[in-house]
A and B are shown apart, each in its own frame.
Chain A
Amino acid sequence: MNLAALSAERRRPSLRGAHCPQRQNRCVKALVSALVTLLCVTRAAEAQLTDARSNTQSFDGYVSLLADAFPSVREGGDRSAVAELRPRLFAEYRRELNSRLHLTIAGFAEALIADRSGERTATASIVRPQEVSLEARWKRADLRIGWSRVTWGRLDELPPTDVVNPQDLTRFFFEGRAEGRMPVAMLRGRWRRSETFSLEGIYVPVFRSGRYDQLDEESAPFNVRPRALCSRTPARMCLPVRTERLEPAHDLANAQGGMRATGTTGRVDWAVSAYRGFESLPLYEGAATVSASPSVLTLLERFPRFTMLAGDVETVRGHWGLRGEMATFVDRSLQAGAAIVKGRVVEAGVGVDRKAGEYRVSGNALLTRRAFTGRVTLPDNESDGGEIDRTDLTLVTFIDRSFAGATRTIRGFGVFNPGEQSAFARASVLMHVRDNVSLEAAVGWFAGRGSHVLARFTDRDFVYTRLKVFF
């Protein structure tokens, strides 16, 4: 254990299954007050803007109610059903302060009332910024400061170079990558030499981790944090796991950032980028020696550094859109059992999309090569390089069709790893019952066993329905 390293990290201990009624009450009160406040602000702002609405400012948003169910979530050897209710209020205000300065304030209040694992009713509420930024624009440059989201990469849903913002996995699986993207504090500058060449620089001073779920993460169905570790001996002894989160401290040495040059040659858009950041979801490292109890294994949640060098292209030929992306993570830490090891990862993908009759279809193939390059700590004898030296092919497909005057939309999204026969599929139906009211139903299905990331979510099949009212 590197004590010096620990002292430079923020510690957040957590024990799965912890139950705290007082916290729930506080959550409910916070939710109610937040919703009331936001609604009041919303209505007041809307009233003010009714007359003053112009091209220089806009205010809008939505209220939604999502009900979801996981029929059979497996925790260890037990299976249980999960049912959740997620009301959400989202509002966005945009204003041109003058011809140069542009302000965006967007955020949401969301609550959770859930029956998880059949043991308790989980409640939680949050109020979060989605975008709070000020952008200055000049003829050839712009500068943005604030909490914001930036999209890098060209491929659908699993672009290797989209590393700036962390993801909320629950929203990713429910709604897709765009909705799952969480804002980070950033300073972003762009210089545009011309329509065909620009240079972008991003500085992220404060680390923000990705989340399995922003609402009561501990009991979230998509939280695949290890609950117990078992030996591979015939006796198969298992120890319950206590996790301790070690996030990078908020100091100058832990800043993240990168550059991206974007250009157009003929009708081919291309970009090269470099980024130095932290893993947004934790890797786990065994630390039995620091456990409070000999019968509980402590796992440290670490967010190691990585360095990415990448390139991507996009063009159109006839009815086909063609996209490609390649990222080399020259130093990346990899999970190997209960250890974190040094490695190198190359991810390369190609994608096509087109309109086919009434359907819009796209397909991506993503090749991931992970290579073990060294050892950091291997407290568990199970871990070896052979587990992580691997190549995976991931196929991603997307299809959608709108009909009845675009008031009905069906969508299908699938991810498939043929090597391990693991897969995720999501199908949804969206119906606009009025101009500002939509009703959506979706089903998500996971399959496979193995060490591919998708297989970790097996037994998290879900269904949901959502009512959304825009204002």
Chain B
Amino acid sequence: MRAFTLCALIWRSFVPCVFALSLPGDVQTPRWVAEQIDARDIGRDSRMEMTMRLFDRRGRVRERRLGLTALRGRGSSGDRELVRFLSPGDIKGTALLVWEHDGAEDERFLFLPALGRVRRIAGAEKQESFVGSDLSYEDIGGRELDDYTYAFVERNASWKAPNGHTCAAWQLESIAKDAQVAYPRLVSLVCKDSFIVVSADVFNRRNEREKHYEVRRLEGIDGVWTVMDLVMTNETQKTRTELSVTSVRYNIGLKESDFSRRALEEAMP
């Protein structure tokens, strides 16, 4: 089970929030909120392109374009995701395929154009940086629901987006069961009407706020709430990463074969 996806985000419909608001308040436990984030309808599949802008401490920016296709798992098979770099030239064509498995280790495959073959690779540490950005693999791929315990900080918070969009929200604290992870504590703001994490403070082992996540633009696309712009700031290193979705489509009929090792090798960037 995955929960608390900050970036992989993006998908989740209105349907569960209607259900959520109809429940009595005492049923809405912190754990239940986390489960709703995980259980949102994000479509059967999706294909999106995004631009990642990495700012260093001097404000210099490096831009990467990447494509992300995802297939929601059915039955015993978990989600499948394929990330492919579209630019810059030195990493163009590099692609990562992830087969998630409930209750078992995920399988990961890497395609490097220069190597010309698909290579099975070990999983990255979940809280490691994703391709040099301020986002972690966990931010991209989602957190394991059972790896955390949850508590409300504030039941009646609110959130206002830069574009004026507002929502009632829960402020939720998530504490990692494994205290040795790099970021054991997360305080996040979860919109009640969409179950999307719209803001989060990420604390390091010294309980210092090290990273701050903020959604800048949220849109409903094909009935699915989609985070179109977000920023993750690393306050310790004075760096930040901005992610903008440039195109997104849901329920386009992707099949498991679109997430095979052959697809990883053959798809053109």
Closest chain-A Cβ to B65's Cβ sits at a distance in Å of: 10
Is there an interface contact between A470 and B89, defined as CB atoms closer than 8 Å?
A: yes
- Does any Cβ of A come within 8 Å of B222's Cβ? no
Is there an interface contact between A151 and B120, defined as CB atoms closer than 8 Å?
A: no
- Does any Cβ of A come within 8 Å of B179's Cβ? no
Is there an interface contact between B239 and A60, defined as CB atoms closer than 8 Å?
A: no
Complex formed: what's the CA distance from A53 to B260 in Å? 26
Complex formed: what's the CA distance from A60 to B260 in Å? 26
Of B8-16, B126-134, B139-147, B210-218, the one contacting chain A is: B126-134
Is there an interface contact between A470 and B133, defined as CB atoms closer than 8 Å?
A: no
Chain B interface helix/strand/loop/mixed: loop
Chain A residues near B261 (CB-CB < 8 A)? 195
- Does any Cβ of B come within 8 Å of A149's Cβ? yes
Q: From the candidates B116, B120, B266, name the one contacting A316 in the complex (CB within 8 A).
A: B120
Chain A residues near B123 (CB-CB < 8 A)? 316, 319
Q: From the candidates A62, A96, A316, name the one contacting B122 in the complex (CB within 8 A).
A: A316
Chain A residue with the shortest CB-CB distance to B91: A406
Q: From the candidates A96, A192, A406, A436, name the one contacting B268 in the complex (CB within 8 A).
A: A96
Is there an interface contact between A407 and B266, defined as CB atoms closer than 8 Å?
A: no
Is there an interface contact between B128 and A315, defined as CB atoms closer than 8 Å?
A: no
Interface string of A47-61 (1 = CB under 8 A from B): 000000001101011
Q: From the candidates A269, A319, A438, name the one contacting B120 in the complex (CB within 8 A).
A: A269
Complex formed: what's the CA distance from A432 to B131 in Å? 14
Chain A residue with the shortest CB-CB distance to B86: A58
Q: From the candidates A96, A102, A149, A438, name the one contacting B90 in the complex (CB within 8 A).
A: A438
Chain B residues near A405 (CB-CB < 8 A)? 54, 56, 62, 132-133, 239
Residues 347-367 of A contacting B (Cβ, < 8 Å): 353-355
Is there an interface contact between A470 and B116, defined as CB atoms closer than 8 Å?
A: no
Is there an interface contact between B115 and A406, defined as CB atoms closer than 8 Å?
A: no
Is there an interface contact between A321 and B120, defined as CB atoms closer than 8 Å?
A: yes
Chain A residues near B132 (CB-CB < 8 A)? 402, 404-407
Cβ-Cβ contact count across A and B, 8 Å cutoff = 87
Is there an interface contact between B120 and A178, defined as CB atoms closer than 8 Å?
A: no
Complex formed: what's the CA distance from A55 to B128 in Å? 31
Complex formed: what's the CA distance from A353 to B124 in Å? 12
Closest chain-B Cβ to A257's Cβ sits at a distance in Å of: 19
Closest chain-B Cβ to A432's Cβ sits at a distance in Å of: 7
Complex formed: what's the CA distance from A432 to B63 in Å? 12
Chain B residues near A267 (CB-CB < 8 A)? 107, 120
Q: By the criterion of a CB under 8 Å from any partner CB, how many residues of chain B are at the interface?
A: 35
| Chain A interface size range | 35 or more
- Does any Cβ of A come within 8 Å of B92's Cβ? yes
Is there an interface contact between A432 and B62, defined as CB atoms closer than 8 Å?
A: yes
Is there an interface contact between A195 and B115, defined as CB atoms closer than 8 Å?
A: no
Most chain A CB within 10 A, of B92, B107, B132, B260, is at: B132
Chain A residue with the shortest CB-CB distance to B62: A435
- Does any Cβ of A come within 8 Å of B125's Cβ? yes
Complex formed: what's the CA distance from A269 to B107 in Å? 12
Is there an interface contact between A58 and B269, defined as CB atoms closer than 8 Å?
A: yes
With A407-B62, A438-B90 in contact, do A314 and B115 touch (Cβ < 8 Å)? no
Is there an interface contact between A192 and B262, defined as CB atoms closer than 8 Å?
A: yes
Closest chain-A Cβ to B116's Cβ sits at a distance in Å of: 5
Complex formed: what's the CA distance from A178 to B115 in Å? 5
With A60-B92, A150-B116, A151-B117 in contact, do A321 and B122 touch (Cβ < 8 Å)? yes
Q: From the candidates A151, A269, A314, name the one contacting B116 in the complex (CB within 8 A).
A: A151
With A178-B114, A192-B262 in contact, do A94 and B120 touch (Cβ < 8 Å)? no
Chain B residues near A179 (CB-CB < 8 A)? 114
- Does any Cβ of B come within 8 Å of A245's Cβ? no
Is there an interface contact between B89 and A471, defined as CB atoms closer than 8 Å?
A: yes
Residues 119-173 of A contacting B (Cβ, < 8 Å): 137, 142, 149-151, 154
Chain A residues near B116 (CB-CB < 8 A)? 149-151, 178, 181
Complex formed: what's the CA distance from A428 to B71 in Å? 39
Complex formed: what's the CA distance from A97 to B133 in Å? 36
Chain A residues near B268 (CB-CB < 8 A)? 55-56, 58, 94, 96, 102
Complex formed: what's the CA distance from A421 to B105 in Å? 41
Residues 36-56 of B contacting A (Cβ, < 8 Å): 54, 56
Is there an interface contact between A355 and B88, defined as CB atoms closer than 8 Å?
A: no
Is there an interface contact between A435 and B63, defined as CB atoms closer than 8 Å?
A: yes
Closest chain-B Cβ to A194's Cβ sits at a distance in Å of: 10
- A contact residues vs B (CB 8 Å cutoff): 55-56, 58, 60-62, 94, 96, 102, 137, 142, 149-151, 154, 178-179, 181, 192, 195, 267, 269, 314-316, 318-321, 353-355, 402, 404-407, 432, 435-436, 438, 468, 470-471
